[in-house]
A = this chain, B = another copy of it.
Amino acid sequence: MSLQAALDALGDPVRRRIVRELAGEPDWARACGTFAHLPVAKSTLSHHFGVLRQVGLLEQRDEGARRLNRLRRAEFDERFPGLLALVVEEPEGA
> Which of A's residues lie within 8 Å of B, judged by CB?
2-4, 7-8, 10-11, 13, 16, 80-83, 85-87, 90, 94
Contacts and interface: CB of A to CB of B under 8 A. Distances in A.
Number of copies: 2
A10 to B, nearest CB: 6
A-B pairs, top 10 by smallest CB distance, nearest first, are A82-B82, A7-B11, A3-B90, A11-B11, A2-B94, A81-B82, A80-B86, A3-B86, A7-B7, A7-B10
A86 to B, nearest CB: 6
A4 B90 CA distance: 10
B94 A4 contact: yes
Contacts of A13: 4
A38 to B, nearest CB: 16
Nearest to A7: B11
Contact of A85 (B4, B16, B82, B90): B82
B81 A3 contact: no
